[in-house]
Amino acid sequence: MLILLPPSEGKTPPRRGRPLDLGTLSFPSLTPHRSELIAALVDLCTTREPAVAAGVLGLGRTQTDQVHANTRLVRAPAARADRVYSGVLYEALDLPSLDGPARRRATSWLAVTSGLFGLLRPVDRIPAYRLSGDVRLPGTGPVSTYWSRRLDSPVREAAGSGLVVDLRSSTYASFWRPGPDLASRVVTVRVLHDVDGTRTVVSHFNKATKGRLVRDLLLDGATTRTPARFADHLGSLGWKVETGARGRHGTRLDVVVDQV
């Protein structure tokens, strides 16, 4: 089973450690593309005025510290991605607190789509960086388009013959879309908050729920090979799941919750 996660815009910069070594990262076929994006991002943040670079990156004028941090990417300390990413989903998932078997499953089941690195495993050592998936980076163009042309083979390799569980946000979902031959083995998950019969999508709660859902899957350890069986399995773990029709990009599952 392959579980695709979005990255976290919020990151915890490592205080110490060896700098980034691209040769140690998972999915080595992406190494030259990672090098190209790093060079383009560092060039943007070193040759443009900080306020201009911040605007390109979708940052506010008070966030130029993140521009300066990008200039030091190649020499900044690196740490495991599951410790660098610190947003709501990753707080709820809390990978460092899992027991040994669950953490080993996380290493082989989870892959994070990243604006800078394309695809990462939780154990990959990276520095804190700022490059969202919706940025148009000078010299390389839209980040999402850049990776959409390069991620199909790595994702297929990671998925093997198993199920792909896609928990990415819309921005990062555009990095990779399954072809018709793979769509039958892909499930996309949407979280709905039910309040007195009215259902809404709440961003913060959506992320936290997805983190808890993945944690349950890792702790349980069972794998399934079809969307229908996956939905049944989530039900056995206590989640309320409704299965939608299969579309071009897989079968949508709605996880319905009534508590925030």
pLDDT reported for residue 260: 60
pLDDT, one tens digit per residue, over 135-148 is 999 999 999 999 99
Instruction: Please state the rounded mean pLDDT for residues 93-97.
Output: 95
Contact assessment for residue 37 and residue 99, using Cβ atoms and an 8 Å cutoff: no
Rg, the chain, Cα only: 18
For residue 30, the 8-state DSSP code is G
Alpha helices (H) in 16-169, listed in sequence order: 31-47, 50-56, 64-71, 81-84, 88-93, 100-109, 143-148, 152-159
Torsion-angle region of 127 (φ positive above 0: left; ψ -120 to 50: alpha; else: beta): beta
Q: List the one residue out of 222, 245, 246 whose CA is nearest residue 235.
A: 222
| Torsion angle (degrees, nearest 10) of CA 114, 116, 117, 119 | 20
Single pTM value for the model: 0.95
How far is residue 230's CA from residue 222's CA, in Å, rounded to a whole number? Answer: 10
Query: 112 is written with which tokens?
Result: 């994070």
Q: Can you give the residue ranges of every domain in the chain?
A: 2-257
Beta strand 2-5 with 164-166 is: parallel
pLDDT > 90 fraction of the chain, expressed in percent and rounded: 89
pLDDT, one tens digit per residue, over 147-196 is 999 999 999 999 999 999 999 999 999 999 999 999 999 999 999 987 77
For residue 151, CA distances in Å to 43, 110, 175 come to 24, 15, 7
Number of C-beta neighbours around residue 252 at 10 A: 18
